Amino acid sequence: MPTAVQEAHAAHTTTGPGTVRVGDMTLGEGPPAVIGGAPGGADATSRPMGRWLSLRGHHGARDARRALTEERARWRGPLLVEPFSAADLPAIGDLADGVIVGAAWMQDFRLVRAAARLGLPMVVQRGPGATAQEWLAIVDYCAAEGNDRVVLCECGDRTRGAEHALNLGLMRAVRARSGRPVLVHLGTDAGLAGAAVAAGADGVLLAPEAGEETVAAAVEATALAAAVTVPTARRAAPRTVADARAQIDRVDAALAVLLERRAELAGVVQRLKPVGGFAGRDMERERRLVAAMARRAPRLGEARLARIMNAVIEAGLELAEQDRRRGTGR
Ligand SMILES: C=C(O[C@@H]1C=C(C(=O)O)C=C[C@H]1O)C(=O)O
């Protein structure tokens, strides 16, 4: 059954498949993808869902098969690769889950066609200054080679001052016109991750060298934006139990991210206050925060919110005390 997003999407789209699978990651459905960045440390939530690698950075001097074999040893998840030339394609066909058509060679039609013939999913980046029409023409080249598994990736235009000005309006229009999943390339700065997803992106691409903290920030911001914008901004009135539940699941995903963050902050307060934990509870502060929330959630009202927040606050205090005993707090 299509999700509310897919339905809204299908209503004004024409061609392409709304979802594309890359390894075990599905683009265009479910939580927004975060591709690129450090493979991650102890914290599973900070891991990228996919990685990518460019063979262009080394002017083709890097042996594709060796580079991909090394990357495969580090990363078992979905792997996308940008070739330097057609000579890299056999190794990519054997070892990667997808091909990236880089912004710099978007209009190298021979390479695009040869890459499409691998039959792997493709991510077509928009070259700087390229119009929607020029960008979508590349999708047609892939389709002409029998490859319809195409994802588009907005990479921005070169401007004075800011290095890359992302065009989220163009991204949005191309997504609606093509009916294909769209990513936004953020480089090493996750600051626009939430904005990209709120504008309709199905995921973000980070520079391969982006650090763990950037990945974690992108994971958190995209999950929140998807959860908050899909059921509100793109509000499609659910008509079935399954649709309503699917929307509840997204809202709960946002709540979970917020609750985790809230507990972390409440933990900081416990460590900084002269008397922390249950012993230092401040009921006046709790009453005021409930009253402030009731102004944003008038239908729930103060009495119900007080019960909800009491449980939330007590869970936070309990966690803070446990962290203190174990010496594990952040
Ligand atoms: C975080 C604090 O400690 C306690 C926990 C609170 C919370 O989780 O919001 C609020 C008041 C205190 O009972 C605080 O004093 O601000």
Q: What is the DSSP string of 236-263?
A: ----SHHHHHHHHHHHHHHHHHHHHHHH
- pTM confidence score: 0.76
Choice among 175-189, 209-223, 270-284 with the minimum mean pLDDT: 209-223
Going by pLDDT thresholds of 50, 70 and 90, the confidence category of residue 17 is confident
Cα of 42 from ligand 1 centre, angstroms: 28
Asked whether the predicted pLDDT for residue 139 surpasses 70, the reply is: yes
Average pLDDT for the chain: 89
Q: Do the beta carbons of residue 210 and residue 188 sit within 8 Å?
A: yes
Going by pLDDT thresholds of 50, 70 and 90, the confidence category of residue 44 is low
Q: Residue 228, Cβ neighbours under 10 Å: how many?
A: 19
Question: What pLDDT shows up at residue 38?
Answer: 85
Cα of 303 from ligand 1 centre, angstroms: 18
Asked whether the predicted pLDDT for residue 281 surpasses 90, the reply is: yes
- Contacts of 13 by beta carbon, 8 Å cutoff, 6+ apart: 176, 177, 178, 179
Question: What pLDDT shows up at residue 149?
Answer: 96
What's the rounded Cα separation, in Å, for the pair 158 and 104?
12
Choice among 42-51, 90-99, 283-292 with the minimum mean pLDDT: 42-51
Q: Is 266 in the pocket of ligand 1 (CB under 6 A)?
A: yes
For residues 103-127, average pLDDT: 95
Asked whether the predicted pLDDT for residue 311 surpasses 60, the reply is: yes
**What is the number of the ligand 1 atom nearest to the C-alpha of 289?**
9
β-bridge partners, 124:
101, 152
Q: Is 281 in the pocket of ligand 1 (CB under 6 A)?
A: yes
Helix (H, G, I), strand (E, B) or coil at 30: coil
- Contacts of 217 by beta carbon, 8 Å cutoff, 6+ apart: 190, 193
**How far from chain centre, in Å, is Cα 63?**
30
Q: Is 264 in the pocket of ligand 1 (CB under 6 A)?
A: no
Question: What pLDDT shows up at residue 249?
Answer: 84
**How far from chain centre, in Å, is Cα 80?**
15
Cα of 243 from ligand 1 centre, angstroms: 36
Element housing 142 (H / E): helix 132-144
| Token pair 């446990």: residue | 322
Asked whether the predicted pLDDT for residue 78 surpasses 80, the reply is: yes
What's the rounded Cα separation, in Å, for the pair 321 and 189?
35
Q: Is 313 in the pocket of ligand 1 (CB under 6 A)?
A: yes
Going by pLDDT thresholds of 50, 70 and 90, the confidence category of residue 7 is very low
β-bridge partners, 231:
none
Q: Residue 68, Cβ neighbours under 10 Å: how many?
A: 21
Q: Which amino acid is at 217?
A: A
Cα of 260 from ligand 1 centre, angstroms: 15
More confident residue, 59 or 276: 276
Cα of 297 from ligand 1 centre, angstroms: 20
Question: What pLDDT shows up at residue 303?
Answer: 98
pLDDT, tens digit, 9 for 90 and up, residues 238-269: 889 998 888 888 788 888 888 988 999 999 99
What's the rounded Cα separation, in Å, for the pair 180 and 139?
10
